[in-house]
Chains A and B, each alone.
Chain A
Amino acid sequence: MKILLVEDHAELARSIASYLGQEHYICEVAGTFDEAREKLALFSYDVVLLDIMLPDGNGISLLKLLRKEGIESSVLIISAQNALDFKLTGLSEGADDYITKPFPLPELHARIKAIMRRRSAHKNNVLTFQDITADLESMECRVKGKLLNLTRKETNLLLYFINNKGRMLTRQAIAAHLWGDYTDNLDSVDFVYQHVKNLRKKITDAGGKDYISTVYGFGYKLSAPDQ
């Protein structure tokens, strides 16, 4: 899967690209408006990660240009503006989603996955990890074919874990993913702990292995026992 990252801050671009590389994306970086336009004209990308503030132009006008020329790439806006700006001014119009800086990298990954899934709704709609399967259409999760009785938040959490399998997820990243704007003012730790505890219990009760390990003081990780 090919991704174009339009971000003028070189260090941030390098970090994101390196992370996405680990997730087996092909990630190219454009540092300026012109470079991005050129790349978009020459190659096709599945997803464009777009920073709004560029040294030689505005990301939003790039987005408009993209749509005008009928380029079909999905666009995820990455911006230092806060969420309210998007809501108040409709800044994200024409984009598939937006994420505000600073964001946890796993969250970015989850958003990209969600966008891709939306674009190819008919294709692969089942996520699997070891003996866990999650049907994204019906939002049903099964362990060894046995249906898990999960709440909406727990399902969401499990999907987030599977999407970021083998990676450590900080409590804050999990909280940001589960509660979005609501978590700003909350001590997320306890709440994340509760949800993870419930999820683990439901999986083991259904006869699954406990794939989620706690990294004390830090967060959680979903990994196969042999990894």
Chain B
Amino acid sequence: MKLNYRYTLAYAALTFCVLSLGFAIVYAALSRSVTQVTIGELENLNALAVRQLRNGAATVPDSLRLYVQASPVAATDTARRRRTVQVRPEWDAALQARVAVVRLTTYPVVSGRPYRVTSRAAVVEPRDAYLTGLVLVFAWTFVFLLALVVILSELISWRILRPFNATLHGIQQFALGQPHAIELPDTRTAEFRELNEFLVKMTARAQSDYRGLQEFSENASHELQTPIATIKAKLELLMDSELTEKQLGTLTTMHDELERLAKINHALTLLAKLEHFEPAPDTLADLSQLVPATEAAFADLAEMKGLATTQRIAPGVRVPLDASLAQLLLNNLFSNAIRHNVPGGEIRVELSATGLLLANTGLAPSVPVSELFGRFKKGNSALDSIGIGLAIVKRISELFGHRVSYEYAAGWHRIRLDFTESALVTD
């Protein structure tokens, strides 16, 4: 959920509470004032009746009788000499409804005789008539407020959070291996400025650490080449001298292990090289020509393993790839397809304008297929591979924005290369 939505939501809840409280207060006040006003009117009425009694009328005039009754009471009845107000719902014959009725009883003394004067009036309570109106007023107020908040929060957060969003964008664009520092826009907001400063400092340190590590591994594997070459040359010279079978066996083992070391080292140097390889723009590789050529180069190897290869090559597929890297990628894919195959198995190659699919029969990999793109991950530890081919494939694909995926199902390994959509060229 976006930050300003959270704000809006919290504000809406708050507004709702405040408005509900306001509504309750208004309702109570209204209800009370209506009763008070009625009581005031009834007091006037009682006073009028008392005035007429004082003027000598025996009782309340007819015109008032419906609302006021007066009767003399016993002088001893002192307990009731106070004014009382009663509010209770009653059936009102005139309104034909049950309404709240207010009764005011006073005990005036007229000509030395105590009277009891009771007046009554039906009150239209806000509950009945005003409630809907009140609710509507408050509901509309709430809706307008909410709409205003939503619009304003969008506007304000767009403005206030703009540097923050720009920072987010900057982080998303940032890659550890990129040659330049992270780019964050200037801002006047103190917190954002602090955040940006922190980010710039942190990424700079990460980049320099990363570069150091890169350089180290690149130099290390590069520097190893010459000693390896020397040992290899010495071993080969030694092998050509007079040796017993046992000595030759030992030398052979050493030579094989050295070969392996050389291959690992070679692959690591290559990966390090690819790590900060900047592809030249607009390089295109003609896969329609490269794929069959690579297949042909591997044909004798496939044949020796008794593998049947079928190809479906769309013509004129040219994708952004350096030609030698494309060759390297295809070499790795084809040699994997042959290596991890079963005797008498199949290889299927499909090249279309959108992607390259290389499928081969083979045993199920022993680790999850997604891990096979990692370095030194092997689907089958029994094979004498170094397990770095797919990491190279992945790196090369990433360099040019292609997506590579690998799945295994029903005895088939499928490696799919989805070409980047940005620069598909077909003719």
Asked if residues A172 and B339 are in contact (CB atoms below 8 Å), the reply is: no
Asked if residues A87 and B324 are in contact (CB atoms below 8 Å), the reply is: yes
**A69 interface residue (CB < 8 Å to B):** no
Over the window 185-227 of chain A, the binary record of Cβ atoms lying under 8 Å from chain B Cβ atoms (1 yes, 0 no) is: 1110011001000000000000000000001011000000000
CB A99 to nearest CB in B, in angstroms, measures 10
Asked if residues A88 and B324 are in contact (CB atoms below 8 Å), the reply is: yes
Contacts of A153 in B (CB 8 A): 300
Over the window 1-40 of chain A, the binary record of Cβ atoms lying under 8 Å from chain B Cβ atoms (1 yes, 0 no) is: 0000000010110011011001000000000000000000
- Given A82-B269, A218-B239, the answer on whether A194 and B304 have CB atoms closer than 8 Å is yes
Asked if residues A105 and B233 are in contact (CB atoms below 8 Å), the reply is: yes
Asked if residues B273 and A82 are in contact (CB atoms below 8 Å), the reply is: yes
Asked if residues B229 and A190 are in contact (CB atoms below 8 Å), the reply is: no
**A64 interface residue (CB < 8 Å to B):** no
Contacts of A184 in B (CB 8 A): 263, 266-267, 331, 335
**A62 interface residue (CB < 8 Å to B):** no
Chain B interface size, as a band, is: 35 or more
Asked if residues A102 and B331 are in contact (CB atoms below 8 Å), the reply is: no
Closest-by-CB residue of B relative to A193 is B304
Chain B binding surface SS class: helix
Closest-by-CB residue of A relative to B253 is A217
CB A15 to nearest CB in B, in angstroms, measures 4
Once the chains are docked, how many angstroms separate the CA of A80 from the CA of B224?
Answer: 9
**A118 interface residue (CB < 8 Å to B):** no
Asked if residues A84 and B385 are in contact (CB atoms below 8 Å), the reply is: no
Asked if residues B273 and A84 are in contact (CB atoms below 8 Å), the reply is: yes
**B389 interface residue (CB < 8 Å to A):** yes
Contacts of A102 in B (CB 8 A): 225, 228-229, 231-233, 258, 262
CB A199 to nearest CB in B, in angstroms, measures 13
Chain A binding surface SS class: helix
Asked if residues A182 and B298 are in contact (CB atoms below 8 Å), the reply is: yes
Once the chains are docked, how many angstroms separate the CA of A19 from the CA of B223?
Answer: 23
CB B285 to nearest CB in A, in angstroms, measures 13
Asked if residues B322 and A88 are in contact (CB atoms below 8 Å), the reply is: yes
Once the chains are docked, how many angstroms separate the CA of A5 from the CA of B322?
Answer: 33
Asked if residues A167 and B240 are in contact (CB atoms below 8 Å), the reply is: yes
Residues 300-359 (chain B) with a chain A CB within 8 angstroms: 300-301, 304-305, 322, 324-325, 327-328, 331-332, 335-336, 338-339
Enumerate 18 A-B pairs (CB-CB under 8 Å) in ascending A order: A15-B234, A82-B273, A84-B270, A87-B324, A88-B325, A101-B226, A101-B229, A102-B228, A103-B232, A105-B236, A151-B300, A168-B239, A172-B255, A184-B266, A184-B267, A185-B339, A194-B304, A215-B248
Q: Considering the complex of A and B, which 4 residue pairs feature the smallest CB-CB distances, nearest first?
A: A80-B225, A15-B233, A102-B229, A87-B324
A16-B233, A184-B267 known; 19 new pairs, CB 8 Å cut-off, are A9-B230, A11-B234, A15-B233, A82-B269, A84-B325, A100-B266, A101-B226, A102-B258, A103-B229, A104-B236, A105-B236, A106-B236, A151-B300, A170-B236, A172-B255, A181-B328, A181-B331, A186-B301, A187-B385
